[in-house]
Amino acid sequence: MHSNNSINKIITNYTLCLIPLILYGVYKNGIIPYLYYQSNLWIILKPLIIPIGAYFFGYAFEYFQHHDVSNSFTPLLCLISAMIIPINTPIIIYLICLIGTLLLNKFIHQPINLFILPKIIIALYLVLFATYTYQNSYELSTNLYYSPLDLFFGRSFGGISATSTILCLISYIFLFNTAIYKKTIPPLIIGSFILTSLILSPFYGFTTILHNFLNSTIIFSSIFLATIPIYSPITKQDTLIYSLFIGITSALLVSTLNVYESVYIVIFIAPFITKIISKTLRRYRHSSLI
Amino acid sequence: MYQTCRLNKDLNVTYKSNISTYLNPNYIYLNGSLIDDLTQGSSVYKDSIVTKDPVCFSSVSGSIYAVKEKQIIIKNDFMENYEAPKRASKYAKYTDQIIFKLLQTYHFSNPQIIEELAKSPHTILINGIDDVPYVNTRTYLLNNLSEIILETCEILNTTIKPEEFILTLKNTDAETIAFYNDHVGSFPFIQYRYLNDEYPLGYKEILCNKLSLEEANTVLITIEELLEINEIIKRLRPLSEIYLSIIIPSGKSFILKTKLYTNLNDIITEFNLPKDQIYYLNNLLLKQTIDPFNYLIDNTTKALYILPPQEDKPLPCINCGICYTSCPFQINPLDPEEIKKCRRCGLCTYNCPAHISLGGDSRAQ
């Protein structure tokens, strides 16, 4: 006797939600530059091949390891890791990072989302070779002025397939009805991010704060990455610590680093920090009881 | 706020319309050590105390056939001899003190109820709902032993004098609701409350919460306990027979009335029950299996599920937390400290997407 809940169901729901984002990524980073340049077909295919290739690479890796792929988060995490990297990422570099992550994931049994590592390494690589940008070739060659509504619909700069705020919000509504989805995490992260940003707005200006929010990085990462069951906490207290830590620290870090990496770095370390804070609180509560 | 849920009942379970009985076992088996007055070969009366630690009454009359370490076997003589024929007068004047005394003397199975009744509770709550999946015992008892149930309710109401006397029924049991509605005039003190077919409703705090009752001032009595009270105060004898649901999805499920301490093996032989299947005890959500050939029916036995073997291979935990969020008592089954407070409702195991046996299950095994 069992409920309808299954691991496969949550993975399928996540994947289904990501499909419109991938397609929008193809439109924004593939079709628009292709129409502008009228150049080779690779421009269209790249934003499609990188995420799908990453998914099947993760699938194959997991298949050769355990054979049971339907209940593994690895292909999904590979897909998300590909969706958040810049469009000008050299495929070979991403592939090396992905292989390294998959191998590392095999040996590290700590609750840290290693699949964020490729993004961080690639950002470092691009900085090192002075090619760091989240704009596609069309955006680089044109002077663009986007309204907040444009940004909301996904015209902002960002990862290959992670720029549409509206699609992220629709996905959240869909995932909200999935029993296993940790639905309290995204509103807590976004709420604390906005609140901290508003407090900091006299220093950085309201436009920057609005841009950081509509950029969709915080929304995408809080809906899809921060809620991945394996890496997120389960109790009410831990969820609160985890979400507030991500929201507040991201808002603080955004002003010193940038919005594209800071949120992911915070999500990368958040499970660890939550564990430490939770343990400290428990010890404190235990000692105060004695 | 305690959350309840509707369970996915995908087994096709249909019950026989009448209660089956097995009241003539050749032997009964009592776990405990023999009291000092008795030795092997001694005669025992029905309902006389045979063992200590724990105290067990013989549910048959006969002789002590064998004395093993911590187990006494009594051979049934099928005479049903009592020490002295006793029966309370139908018109006996009960007082609360007499009832408490009788319940203590005959080792009422839930002593906590005696304590709670002694505190003059505001509400007496009779739970007539079978919340455990596929179990139908209470519905059968409500329909077939209604006279005894209503009479015992009246005795409790006149002696304990609670402000409220509530009987809960499942709102899907149309037949039971119709029957009890017909008796509203004869037993006007009983308030009927109808609840959805949800799980778990067998816990006092949850039921009180659903009915907006104050838990501390309420005594929860199940239908089975009500019948035991009747047995003690009306017939002056301890519980010797129990009712349980035998659930066989492939065949006709039935309600069985049997003697306490009967070996399940005898019931399997008598009713020709399948021997090559898995026997689950009391609540399918807990997945607690038993050895059917070496199990004694006691007053904790409420239901037996006979199901074909299933390969339910657990997957690694994905840390989704549904075990915690679905727990009505907000206990985290993954926390070794909190698991000690587990109330064994089995919802964590039921909801786990990785099919891991959590919470009370691991303790049960």
- Per-residue pLDDT of B164-173, as tens digits, reads 999 999 998 8
Residues of A with CB under 8 A from a CB of B: 1-7, 9-10, 68, 71, 73, 111, 179-180, 182, 229-235
Note the pTM of the prediction, 2 decimals: 0.83
Query: What phi and psi, each to the nearest 5 degrees, are found at residue B301?
Result: -80, 115
Same domain, A234 and A126: no
Residues A290, A271 share a domain = yes
Cis peptide leading into B200, omega within 30 of 0? Answer: yes
pLDDT at B143 over 80: yes
Q: What is the pLDDT of residues B283-321, one digit of tens each?
A: 888 888 898 888 989 888 999 999 888 777 888 888 888
Q: How far apart are CA A266 and CA A250, in angstroms?
A: 6
B199, B347 contact by CB (below 8 A):
yes
Bridge partners, B263 (sequence order) = B296
Nearest to A230 among B10, B312, B319 (CB): B319
The C-alpha atoms of residue A232 and residue A222 are separated, in whole angstroms, by 11
Q: Which 3 state secondary structure label does DSSP give A100?
A: helix
Residues A208 and A228 in one domain: yes
Shared-domain flag, residues B255 and B329 = no
Give the separation between CA B189 and CA B332, rounded to whole angstroms: 41
- Gap between the terminal Cα atoms of chain B: 30
Distance CA A193, CA A246 (A): 8
- Preferred mutation among A2, A70, A278 to probe B, highest tally of B CBs within 10 A: A2
Please indicate whether residue B362 or residue B167 has the higher confidence score (pLDDT).
B167
- The structure tokens listed for A193 are 């991010």
Which member of A4, A68, A234 has the closest CB to residue B319? A234
Over range B9-24, report the average pLDDT: 85
Mutate to test the interface with B, among A1, A180, A235 (most CBs of B within 10 A): A1
Establish if B4 belongs to a structural domain: no
Q: Tell whether B148 and B245 lie within a shared domain.
A: no
> Measured between beta carbons, which residues in chain B are less than 8 angstroms from residue A184?
none
Which residues of A are less than 8 Å from B285 in CB distance? 1
Q: Do both B103 and B189 map to the same domain? A: yes
Chain A residues within an 8 Å CB radius of B319: 111, 229-232, 234
Question: In this complex, do A229 and B319 lie within 8 Å of one another by their Cβ atoms?
Answer: yes
Q: Report the pLDDT value the prediction gives residue B365, as an integer from 0 to 100.
A: 33
Query: Do residues B38 and B52 touch, judged by C-beta distance below 8 A?
Result: no
In a domain, B314, yes or no: no
Across the range A63-73, mean pLDDT stands at 83
Examine the domain organization and report whether B106 and B230 are in the same domain: yes
Per-residue confidence (pLDDT) for residue B294, from 0 to 100? 86
Average pLDDT over residues B41-68: 85
Asked if B65 and B193 sit in the same domain, the reply is no
What is the residue range of A151's domain? 1-173
Query: Using CA atoms, how far apart are residues A164 and A152, in angstroms rounded to an integer?
Result: 7
CB-nearest to B350 from A3, A6, A10 is: A3
Helix H or strand E segment including A95: helix A91-107
Helix (H, G, I), strand (E, B) or coil at B199: strand
Read off the pLDDT of residues A7-48 as tens digits, 9 standing for 90 and up.
989 999 999 999 999 999 999 888 888 888 767 788 888 889
State yes or no: pLDDT of B6 exceeds 90: no
Tell me how close the Cα of B275 comes to any Cα of chain A, in angstroms.
21
On average, the pLDDT of chain B sits at 85
CA distance B58 to B72: 10
Q: How confident is the model at residue A167 (pLDDT cuts 50, 70, 90)?
A: very high
pLDDT confidence band for A55 (50 / 70 / 90): very high
Domain match, A13 and A52 both: yes
Average pLDDT in the B89-97 region?
A: 67
Per-residue pLDDT at A290: 62
- pLDDT category, A279, cuts 50, 70, 90? confident
Q: How many domains does chain A have?
A: 2
Helix-, strand-, coil-residue percentages of chain B, each rounded to 5: 30, 25, 50
Residue A179 has pLDDT above 80, yes or no: yes
Q: List Cα–Cα distances, B44 to A12, A41, B191, in angstroms.
A: 65, 95, 43
Beta strand B218-222 with B123-127 is parallel
* Domain end position, chosen among B188, B209, B235: B235
List CB contacts (< 8 A) between A2 and chain B. 8, 312, 350, 355
Are residues B259 and B185 part of one domain? no
Number of residue pairs across A and B with CB atoms under 8 Å? 62
Task: Write phi, then psi, for B260 (nearest 5 degrees).
Answer: -65, 150
Helix B146-160 / helix B223-235 crossing angle, nearest 10 deg: 80
CA dihedral A99, A75, A119, A268 (to 10 degrees): -110
A261 burial via Cβ count (<10 Å: 0-12, 13-18, 19+): buried
Considering the domain architecture, whether residues A7 and A145 belong to the same structural domain is answered as: yes
| Omega of the bond leading into B54 within 30 degrees of 0 (cis) | yes
Confidence (pLDDT) at B88: 56
| Maximum average pLDDT range among A26-35, A51-60, A109-118, B61-70 | A51-60
Report the sign of the C-alpha dihedral through residues A49, A55, A57, A59, in that order: negative
Are B138 and B229 in the same domain?
Answer: yes
Residues A105 and A155 both lie in one domain: yes
Q: Is residue B13 part of a domain?
A: no
B85 pLDDT above the threshold of 60: no
Spatial neighbors of B250 by CB under 8 A, at least 6 apart, are B274, B308
How many CB atoms neighbour CB A277 within 10 A? Answer: 16
Which residues of chain B have a Cβ shorter than 8 Å from any chain A Cβ? 7-11, 133, 284-285, 312, 315, 318-322, 324-325, 332, 334-335, 350-355
Q: Say what the pLDDT of residue A289 is.
A: 62
What mean pLDDT is predicted for residues A257-261? 81
Q: Do residues A139 and A76 both lie within one domain?
A: yes
Contacts of B52 (CB under 8 A, 6+ apart): B32, B33, B34, B35
B255 closest CA partner among B286, B292, B301, B189:
B301
Q: B218 has which bridge partners?
A: B123
The answer to whether the beta carbons of residues A180 and A12 sit under 8 Å apart is: no
Domain count, chain B: 3
CA dist B84 and B45 (Å) reads 9
Q: Is the pLDDT of residue A227 over 70?
A: yes
Contacts of B320 in chain A (CB under 8 A): 10, 180, 182, 229, 234
Question: Taking 60 as the threshold, does the pLDDT of residue B363 lie above it?
Answer: no
Q: Element (H or E) spanning A118, and its range? A: helix A117-128
Does residue B268 sit in the same domain as residue B299?
Answer: yes
Last residue of a domain, one of A115, A138, A173: A173
- Predicted interface score ipTM higher than 0.90: no
Average pLDDT over residues B41-48: 84
Percentage of chain B with pLDDT > 90?
Answer: 15
For the CA atoms of A213, A214, A220, A226, the dihedral, rounded to the nearest 10 degrees, stands at 10
Residues with Cβ within 8 Å of A190's Cβ and at least 6 positions away in sequence, in order, are A218, A219, A222, A247
A23 lies in the same domain as A162: yes
Residue, of A191 and A255, whose pLDDT is higher: A191
Answer yes or no: do A141 and A189 share one domain: no
- Least Cα separation, residue A135 to chain B (angstroms): 36
Pairwise pLDDT comparison (A290 vs A58), residue with the higher score: A58
Reply yes or no on whether the pLDDT at A266 is more than 80.
yes
Q: Which of A140, A173, A206 is the last residue of a domain?
A: A173
Is residue A99 classed as helix, strand or coil in its secondary structure?
helix
Residue type at position B353: P
B292: left (phi over 0), alpha (psi -120 to 50) or beta: alpha
Sequence-distant (6+) residues with CB within 8 A of B293 are B264, B265, B268
Flag whether B187 is in a domain.
yes
DSSP three-state, residue B220: strand
Query: Per residue in A199-226, is it b (16+ CB within 10 Å) or e — as a string?
Result: ebeeeeeeebbebbbbbbbbbbbbbbbb
- Residue B364 — pLDDT band, cuts 50, 70, 90? very low
Query: Who's near B338: CB < 8 A, 6+ residues apart?
Result: B331, B332
Are A133 and A216 within one domain? no
Q: What is the mean pLDDT of residues A178-207?
A: 87
Q: How high is the mean pLDDT of chain A?
A: 86
Please name which of A118, A83, A113 lies closest in space to residue A97, comparing C-alpha atoms: A118
Same domain, B195 and B261: no
Query: A161 and A47, same structural domain?
Result: yes
Domain termination residue (choose one: A128, A155, A173): A173
Mean pLDDT of A56-71: 86
As a dihedral over the C-alpha atoms of residue A65, residue A66, residue A68, residue A73, rounded to 10 degrees, the angle is: -70
Q: Are residues A4 and A143 in the same domain?
A: yes
- Please identify, among B217, B235, B253, the residue that sits at the C-terminal boundary of a domain: B235
Instruction: For residue B182, give its domain range.
Output: 96-235
Flag if A3 and B285 touch (Cβ within 8 Å).
no
What does DSSP say about strands B164-170 and B123-127: parallel, antiparallel, or unpaired? parallel
First to last CA, chain A: 43
Distance CA B281, CA B291 (A): 10
CA distance B39 to chain A (A): 47
Q: Which of B235, B256, B279 is the last residue of a domain?
A: B235
B-chain residues within 8 Å CB-CB of A180? 320, 322, 353
Which chain B residues are Cβ-neighbours of A3 within 8 angstroms? 7-8, 350-351
* A73 vs B contacts (CB less than 8 Å): 318
Neighbours of B215 (CB within 10 A): 13
Asked if residue B11 is part of any domain, the answer here is no
- DSSP, collapsed to helix, strand or coil, labels residue A238 as helix
Nearest-Cα distance to chain B for A196, in Å, is: 28
Q: For residues B132-144, give the mean pLDDT.
A: 90
Residue B312 domain-assigned (yes or no)? no
